[in-house]
Structure 1
Amino acid sequence: MRHIAIIGSGPSGFYAAEAALKAFGPEVRIDILDRLPTPYGLIRAGVAPDHQSIKAVSRRYEAVAKDPRVTFIGSVEVGRDIPLSEVRSVYDDVVLAVGAPEDRKLGISGEELPGVFGSGAFVGWYNGHPDFAKLSPPLDTPTIVVIGNGNVAIDCARVLAKTAAELASSDIAAHALSALANSALTDVHILGRRGPYQASFTLKEIGELGELERATPIVQPSDLPDAEGDAALETGQRRVVEVLRRFAAAGPDPAKPVKIHFDFFHRPVRILGTNRVEGIEVARTQVDAAGNPTDTGEQRILSCGLVIAAVGYRSSPLEGAPFDTRGGRFANDAGRIDDGLWCVGWAKRGPSGTIGTNRPDGFAVIDRIKTEGLPASGKAGRAGLLAMLKQRGIKPTTFADWEAIDRAEVAAARPGAPREKIVEMAKLRALCSA
């Protein structure tokens, strides 16, 4: 029997488990560990609450979790509750699927001021992640700056700009819905160092900004390259630029009180303020033929009371696993860290790709385990792990516990919403039988 521990219950962890079930058949036992009692990782706490169709993939993960060869072991943090070395001692293979939970820093002065948040923290706040439920971002400001030109930046801007009615059918956390409904917002600025040709928005994300009830997207025509250059773009990027051109041609809608400004070719220089954010100094940039930005010498100051940095993420180092500090991920060779130690998803390649990208990634690593991994050696697996946790007085939670949480959240949902998330760890644990 081969015993595999997968640390992390997000998409990459579940796709790896699915692959292992297919690769090893009846001769495998898989334990999926997570520090929270709730599985699904970014599907629950990262995907925008108004994108319910994407969250539906959790039904596929549920089928994996209910396979008799799989056990979900929640409320266990490897590295805190139990060392990685001890987990490795009782499993043939350990797969790190811990994602990239840390926000990358901007690296500019003033980013430690109150009112500056990484997008991971801000998204966690409105998605009801227990770590960020008490974040309390200052929404008493009319102007908010979002730094970044990817889908996460768009998500943050869209959630900020939507009305309470538009968010009512989502699973946004109640505390966030209430705070956003009472915000003083009039302007959101989305800052990017490069231009429309280099932006990493997807068509769906950018298109949604043109359909908001109270907000209108604004693109400066002067920021758009000559249209004849569009033909050289890949299809997806060309369509994104087409939408941006439509926004520029339409201009602001005077009937909509909130403006979403695309500030292309702007680099954050420093964040200003004394006791909280009061503004941000930005430098105007230009890009060369390779898309690399350089400053033009022009600078300006944007007054604002909240800054959200959507500039990427990093994995958290884990004792016993070599770490690539520069890349913000585990040092690995195509998923292999060491004999019996592997990584998948963002922990392997850094924060890139979509949720679906994790499936072939997970299958590829499991294929390496099957073809290149050490043979099963009679290790104790789950029984050994549970014995060590019991010695430490740690009571893990189960998938049945998650199902109890799920039922409680669904039962408490406001009209039209799929669930009302429970955001306090004590309340989550109270619903568990452990």
Structure 2
Amino acid sequence: MPHVITQSCCSDGSCVFACPVNCIHPSPDEPGFATAEMLHIDPVACVDCGACVSACPVGAIAPDSRLSAEQLPFIEINAGFYPKREGKLPPTSKLAPVPEAPHVDTRGGRPLRVAIVGSGPAAMYAADELLTQSGVQVNVFEKLPTPYGLARAGVAPDHQATKRVTDLFDTIGARRDFRFYLNVEVGSDLTHDELLEHHHAVLYAVGAPTDKRLDIEGMDLPGVATATEFVAWYNGHPDFADLSFDLSGERVVIVGNGNVALDVARILTTDPDTLARTDIADHALAALRTSTVREVVIAARRGPAASAFTLPELIGLTARCDVVLDPVDHQRVRDDLAEATDDLTRRKLEILTKLGDSSAPITRPRIRFAYRLTPARVLGVERATGMEFQVTGTEEVVALESGAVLTSIGYRGMPIRGLPFDESAGVVPNDGGRVLDGDAPVRGSYVAGWIKRGPTGFIGTNKSCAAETVHSLVADYNAGLLAEPGHRPSALDRFVRGRQPKVVDAAGWRAIDAAEVARGRGERPRVKFTSVDEMLRVAASAPAEPVHRRILAGLLR
């Protein structure tokens, strides 16, 4: 009864190091790890010990006998990653080599103090890596009153298993030498240089918060938005909660076919009664209940073999939704399959060949993949009424009527005040996480996550990315390259509260978290607060830590 990794795999890699027979690959030290769509358990080598189940932060692993019908394809996907061995047991080792934690050479009993800007997965994994050592203090700064970034506001509400990674982050945040400073915006409330006055180093893990934009006519029309805005809206992000989306038309066009596009299409076509059991924002659920959308077209510039979505997400989509192709795209899929040599591409194409035909009657809201369509312009005068495409590589023009147009062509990082920025790549230039100005390192400045490497990988990919940055930071500290802070640790709390009196600490976040869960009344995981004012009112209700204890904690840190 071998174990199987399923769709919600986040590529964290914790399972790799827990496995006693080294049967989970690719591992973080292998070349394919950074680009792998998921990890895979070798069914021949697996000894059914269950260690990986306990290690997985998102509950993605189960025995093959306990999989749902939707998960059964992952038995073959896991096995298919490994070459056929004619029944021979593969060579194994006792454990996969666990990367060594960076050893911190503290000076004179004074701790290494690190500020992390951002609180998403890259930030929390960096904090975890730093706090494997004693003599380290981590302060995390986040502009929202709630932490965890895209793990909270980016993961689709019907992917609750993936959101379970926040349980791990809660554990990290409960450590004695970790402190949250939420509702504090670095660059506005505090500056980079001021953080360096209180820390040896500042590590930015701020993600890639903006979208790449299509440069075509009509993009400024009402009815045109980005998938990122739509995702933030249905996830209750306070900066996007007041947006409105017109779902009164029968069709929505999404430009781009990555995983985010699939998330948006799935939410638009899922029965609202099903979504009502998730943590989707109430305003989004109300809008979806009155939606008249019957079809979502996911349009891609290239052909089926170049589809940007991952195989696990495609399997999940086709198991839950009606997904169809036009006859011309069915032929394109068959043509690409005949020429495909890559196993992963072949698996995607084989699933696409089994999709229904778009000529069939629409019995419930459906999704249609459309290929080789290059966006030409948004149609409409006072608002968007459709999208005009040019068939890629030809002069042929195709127009699709649509009540709304969403673009999903990738994310982009934003410049950070006080640091260099690579406009073409949308990242902060760096070497192993060390910020570079030309060829010279910027002392005390580091990056991790998407602002470091660009918008690639999955939640768990940030773990190895953050570990690399932390190793660079600690090496610089041990070499004496980081300046000593100009203030005692106890001065930071007073300084931050002087700049932002409404700072939310860990107790305030716990109060928000508990209140959201209580609002779910056991029927939903939580009902989110969608305004900063609401969050601050709830956070203010948390029992205040006595001043003398806060001062004592600062002295002990």
Q: What's the TM-score, normalizing by structure 1?
A: 0.92
2:141 to 33, 40, 43: 33
2:229 to 114, 117, 121: 121
Deviations 1:159-208 (A, max 9, x none): 00101122122211111111111101011110111111111211221122
**How far does residue 387 in structure 1 lie from its aligned partner after superposition?**
3.2
Name the residue aligned to 1:333. Answer: 431
Report percent identity of matched pairs: 39
2:527 to 414, 417, 420: 420
The separation in 2 between residues aligned to 1:381 and 1:195, in whole angstroms, is: 59
Shift in alpha-carbon separation, 1:415–1:182, aligned structure 2, 3 A = farther
Within-5 A mapping of 1:16-31? 16-22=126-132, 25-31=133-139
Within-5 A mapping of 1:27-176? 27-176=135-284
**How far does residue 386 in structure 1 lie from its aligned partner after superposition?**
2.8
- Runs of 5+ consecutive residues of structure 2 not aligned to the other structure: 1-110, 436-441, 545-557
Within-5 A mapping of 1:263-302? 263-285=370-392, 295-302=393-400
* SS of alignment partner, residue 279 of structure 2: coil
1:305 to 400, 403, 419: 403
Residue type at the aligned position of 1:14: M
Residue type at the aligned position of 1:369: L
Residue type at the aligned position of 1:306: A
**How far does residue 389 in structure 1 lie from its aligned partner after superposition?**
2.7
Rg larger in structure:
2
**How far does residue 427 in structure 1 lie from its aligned partner after superposition?**
0.6
Name the residue aligned to 2:117. Answer: 7
**How far does residue 253 in structure 1 lie from its aligned partner after superposition?**
5.6
Larger mean Cα displacement after TM superposition, 39-48 or 274-283: 274-283
* SS of alignment partner, residue 43 of structure 1: helix
1:227 to 330, 337, 356: 337
Name the residue aligned to 1:198. Answer: 306
Deviations 1:223-280 (A, max 9, x none): 21253323x11x33322221111115x6666463323111111011111222211111
Deviations 1:58-109 (A, max 9, x none): 1111111000010011000101111222112221010000001112111112
Shift in alpha-carbon separation, 1:300–1:406, aligned structure 2, 3 A = same
Shift in alpha-carbon separation, 1:330–1:306, aligned structure 2, 3 A = same
* SS of alignment partner, residue 316 of structure 2: helix
Name the residue aligned to 1:314. Answer: 412
The separation in 2 between residues aligned to 1:42 and 1:381, in whole angstroms, is: 33
The separation in 2 between residues aligned to 1:347 and 1:393, in whole angstroms, is: 25
**How far does residue 154 in structure 1 lie from its aligned partner after superposition?**
0.4
Shift in alpha-carbon separation, 1:113–1:138, aligned structure 2, 3 A = same
Shift in alpha-carbon separation, 1:381–1:345, aligned structure 2, 3 A = farther
* SS of alignment partner, residue 73 of structure 1: strand
Residue type at the aligned position of 2:220: E
The separation in 2 between residues aligned to 1:102 and 1:384, in whole angstroms, is: 34
Shift in alpha-carbon separation, 1:210–1:82, aligned structure 2, 3 A = same
Name the residue aligned to 1:292. Answer: none
The separation in 2 between residues aligned to 1:332 and 1:119, in whole angstroms, is: 29
Shift in alpha-carbon separation, 1:256–1:140, aligned structure 2, 3 A = same
* SS of alignment partner, residue 374 of structure 2: strand
Q: Which has the higher contact order (CA 8 A, sep 6+)?
A: 1
The separation in 2 between residues aligned to 1:383 and 1:308, in whole angstroms, is: 48
* SS of alignment partner, residue 302 of structure 2: coil
* 8 Å CA contact 1:74, 1:398 repeated in 2: yes
**How far does residue 303 in structure 1 lie from its aligned partner after superposition?**
1.1
- Runs of 5+ consecutive residues of structure 1 not aligned to the other structure: 286-294
* 8 Å CA contact 2:257, 2:307 repeated in 1: yes
**How many equivalent pairs are there?**
419
The separation in 2 between residues aligned to 1:381 and 1:306, in whole angstroms, is: 54
Residue type at the aligned position of 2:410: G
Name the residue aligned to 1:367. Answer: 471
Name the residue aligned to 2:285. Answer: 177
Name the residue aligned to 1:386. Answer: 493
Shift in alpha-carbon separation, 1:432–1:341, aligned structure 2, 3 A = same
Deviations 1:326-364 (A, max 9, x none): 111212222111111000000101111111110000001
Shift in alpha-carbon separation, 1:47–1:226, aligned structure 2, 3 A = closer
The separation in 1 between residues aligned to 2:228 and 2:386, in whole angstroms, is: 21
